[in-house]
Amino acid sequence: MHDKLIAKQKVIAEYWADGSSSELPPGHWELFAAFVSQRDHHTLDADVKMFFALANAIHDAAIATWECKRYYDYARPVTAIRHLFRG
């Protein structure tokens, strides 16, 4: 599938891949907030409010994610596929 991607799609996929030297997915949102802060010339008070709200949203998402993970208690799709179709 990687061979069928155009250059722009490859760049987008690599950006969102979150490899070992990249931000984790929640960190991307922090980068977006930092960009908005600089673009809109936020004051310290505005930044505190924005990053506080963002951090709480990320925290809530993490809680929901782990709750689902515990509820379903199942292997990740990539792990299940490798196990089912091994050898």
Domain edges within the chain: 23-84
Give the pLDDT confidence score for residue 25 in this predicted structure.
Answer: 78
Give the pLDDT confidence score for residue 5 in this predicted structure.
Answer: 82
Q: What is the pLDDT of residues 21-32, one digit of tens each?
A: 666 778 888 989
Give the pLDDT confidence score for residue 27 in this predicted structure.
Answer: 83
**Conformational region of residue 10, where left means phi above 0, alpha means psi within -120 to 50, and beta covers everything else:** alpha
Alpha helix segments (H runs only) across 1-40? 7-16, 25-39
CB 54 within 8 A of CB 46: no
CB 25 within 8 A of CB 46: no
Q: What is the pLDDT of residues 33-77, one digit of tens each?
A: 999 999 999 999 999 999 999 999 999 999 999 999 999 998 888
CA 84 to chain centre: 28
